[in-house]
Copies of this chain bind each other. A is one copy, B any other.
Amino acid sequence: MSDIARLAGVSPMTVSRVVNGDARVRAATREKVEAVIRETGYVPDPAARILARAGGGRIGLLYANPSNAYLAEVLSGALEGARSVGLLLLIEPSRAGAPDEEREAVRRLAAGGAQGVIVPPPLGESLATLDAIAASGMKAVVLAAPVMRDGLVSLRVDDRGAAHEMTQYLLDLGHRQIGFVEGRQDQSASADRRQGAQAAVDAIDGAVLWAEAGDFTYRSGFEAGQRLLARSQRPTAIFASNDDMAAGVLAAVHAAGLSTPGDISVAGFDDTYLAAGVWPTLTTIRQPVAEMARAAAVILGRGGEEDGPVPHQFVARESTASPSD
């Protein structure tokens, strides 16, 4: 940094101010410094930056499920958000369902000087983690989970509304017998999605919703699909609470010698990479996971409290159509 300062003919402090976007630098000076930075390719040392901010400037990201595409998106969003507000992101593995490990992970983050924590699912519904965070005095933003403790900020889509929207779409296509595959009962989004679907169906005369249990896995979707197809009165559309299960339903439909969307429409939720990878591609609801993680980092950085539902997006693809008859 002092090299830059010398080349630009200013003090290191001024360089720091330019780098940090301090408004109190004259435009001419700023440009001069920026030119030198551009020429030299200087990048400030994140470690030194954080250190100088004396314990501040750090946020943590807890994660519990290492082999999960969702995590990768959370990570890249959080990374970008943290960078944009000049924060260091501490990444800490945890383990959902093991309260001691969860607490230990939180403790490590606190000891590492984090002022806030981003809590992706499924940790966001773990009281052990949430209480440990509260006890440590850190802020927390939970992703895709309800507020289970005071003082948390929650970033989630309107699961109920989104499920309503998808169901309405199926109804509008003309479907009246709709199968529904539920998610795990210990995640509150599952109930929300079911309620949304139910509400949409209830508003239409003659429409029915047949719900089957599931647990968010491909396999449970496959099995639920088989049960739905075995009914004497077969649904013409099946809405699964996530894409993995929808892919399972798709397999069950094909295994029964039926086609999608010709015989049965299938819809998913989440828009994971599977949704666009399976055949036919899935009509689904997109959750802006990376965006949410970025927003979480920014909120923790600014100390803001910008709660409220995150906009989801309806994505129509090949797996849905009007019933053939």
What B residues does A205 contact at CB under 8 A? Answer: none
B257 touches A279 (CB 8 A): no
Give the CA-CA distance A274 to B274 in the complex, in Å: 10
A236-274 interface code vs B (CB 8 A; 1 in, 0 out): 000000001001101100110101000000000000111
Shortest CB–CB separation between residue A272 and chain B, in angstroms?
Answer: 7
Interface size on A, residues (CB 8 A): 53
What B residues does A290 contact at CB under 8 A? Answer: 66
Give the CA-CA distance A108 to B42 in the complex, in Å: 9
Partner of A257, one of B69, B107, B244, B257: B257
Question: Main secondary structure on chain A at its contact with chain B?
Answer: helix
A112 touches B80 (CB 8 A): no
Shortest CB–CB separation between residue A294 and chain B, in angstroms?
Answer: 12
A67 touches B73 (CB 8 A): yes
What B residues does A218 contact at CB under 8 A? Answer: 274, 277-279
A34-91, CB < 8 A from B: 41-43, 45-48, 50-51, 58, 63, 65-69, 71-73, 75-76, 79-80, 88, 90-91
Give the CA-CA distance A79 to B73 in the complex, in Å: 17
In the complex, residue of chain B having the shortest beta-carbon distance to the beta carbon of A273: B67
What B residues does A80 contact at CB under 8 A? Answer: 93
Cβ of A219 within 8 Å of any chain B Cβ, yes or no, is yes
A43 touches B108 (CB 8 A): yes
Cβ of A217 within 8 Å of any chain B Cβ, yes or no, is yes
What B residues does A217 contact at CB under 8 A? Answer: 277
Partner of A112, one of B43, B72, B274: B43
What B residues does A278 contact at CB under 8 A? Answer: 218-219, 222, 248, 251
Question: Which residues of A are at the interface with B, using a C-beta cutoff of 8 A?
Answer: 41-43, 45-48, 50-51, 58, 63, 65-69, 71-73, 75-76, 79-80, 88, 90-91, 93, 107-108, 111-113, 217-219, 222-223, 244, 247-248, 250-251, 254-255, 257, 259, 272-274, 277-279, 290
A sample of 22 inter-chain contacts (CB < 8 A) reads A41-B107, A41-B111, A42-B111, A46-B47, A46-B90, A47-B48, A47-B50, A47-B51, A65-B72, A66-B75, A66-B76, A67-B273, A68-B69, A69-B72, A71-B72, A72-B72, A75-B75, A80-B93, A219-B278, A222-B278, A223-B279, A251-B278
